[in-house]
Amino acid sequence: MSEQLVPTPGQTIGPFYGFALPYAGGENLVDRTHPNAVRLHGTVYDGHGDPVPDSMLEIWQADAEGNVSQEPGSLIRDGYTFTGFGRVAVDNVGHYDFTTVNPGASEPGKAPFIAMTVFARGLLNRLFTRIYLPEDTQALANDPVLSALPEDRRSTLIAAREADGSLRFDIRLQGDGETVFLSYPNHRADS
């Protein structure tokens, strides 16, 4: 079973996914009335600093206790089960909103983060990034991904906590403040 196969190439999501991939309730990992509901929002920008109006984002995260859900029901939500997955198409001004909870640390002392995948017309393959919570500065300082980055790049992965408790996370595909995008060990063979 250790046969190594060459991965199939990716391609852009293109402009016409809107009728197919986004779905009702995709952006709500929990209901807004959930006692620990948190708004996660931001804007996707291109290399000129202009909003990208045809991007789709997915998040995948642990629950507030740091547990990974393996429950189905992300596409047809029952309003009670935390599945950990969300999908949203940005609006006409490149802005997105998710309603979720702050992920808990998966292990004591680990910096909690939300995994994100970015798709867009014009983006020939998906991009991966992480959205770290800003609070546990000690854990952030010890994080292996963050600590390998220079300060100006590191900050692109850490969400800002707004006065009302919302998390703000902008995505800059290119240029000033370009978001750090990740590759994982098993991607390396592919380019």
Partner 1 sequence: MAEPVVSSDAAANSQAEISADMREISRQYAESGVVETQPRIDYAPYRSSILRHPTKDLHHADPETIELWAPAFGQRDVHALEADLTIQGGGEPIGERMTVKGRVLDGNGRPVRNQLVEIWQANAAGRYIHKRDQHPAPIDPNFTGVGRCLTGDDGSYSFTTIKPGPYPWKNHHNAWRPAHIHFSLFGTDFTQRMITQMYFPGDPLFDLDPIYQAIVDPKARERLVATYDHDTSEHEWSLGYTWDIVLTGAHRTPTEEDSDV
Q: Single out the segment in contact with partner 1 by CB under 8 A; choices: 30-38, 91-99, 127-135, 158-166.
A: 127-135
Alpha carbon distances (Å) from 105 to 34, 61, 86, 139, 181:
20, 10, 19, 10, 21
Residue 131 carries which side chain, given as an amino acid letter?
I
Q: Which is nearer to partner 1, 37 or 180 (CB)?
A: 180
Return the residue of 142, 148, 152, 160 that touches partner 1, per CB under 8 A. Answer: 148
Closer CB to partner 1, residue 163 or residue 189?
A: 189
> Which parts of 42-71 interact with partner 1 (CB under 8 A)?
46-48, 50, 52, 54, 58, 60-62, 66, 68-71
Which one of 39, 51, 64, 83 is in contact with partner 1 (CB under 8 A)? Answer: 83
Instruction: Work out whether 131 is an interface residue with partner 1 (CB under 8 A).
Output: no
Q: C-beta of 161: minimal distance to partner 1 in Å?
A: 20
How far is CA 21 from each of CA 26, 55, 114, 115, 155, rounded to the nearest angstrom? 9, 12, 21, 19, 30
DSSP 17: G
Task: Give the CA distances from residue 70 to residues 87, 139, 184, in Å, rounded to whole numbers and listed in that order.
Answer: 17, 26, 22
Q: Residue 53 and residue 9: Cα distance in Å, rounded?
A: 25
Burial pattern 122-151, b for ≥16 Cβ within 10 A else e, equals: ebeebbebbbbbeebeebbeebeebeeeee
Query: At 155, is the secondary structure helix, strand, or coil?
Result: helix
Q: Does 73 bind partner 1 (CB under 8 A)?
A: yes
Q: Which of 74, 99, 100, 102 binds partner 1 (CB under 8 A)?
A: 74
CB of 137 to partner 1, least distance (A): 19
37 vs 149, beta carbon nearer partner 1: 149
Nearer to partner 1, 15 or 165 (CB): 15
Residue of 93, 124, 141, 160 that binds partner 1 (CB under 8 A): 124
Footprint of partner 1 on 85-114 (CB under 8 A): 85, 103, 106-107, 110, 113-114
CA distance 7 to 14: 21
Q: Which is nearer to partner 1, 41 or 55 (CB)?
A: 55
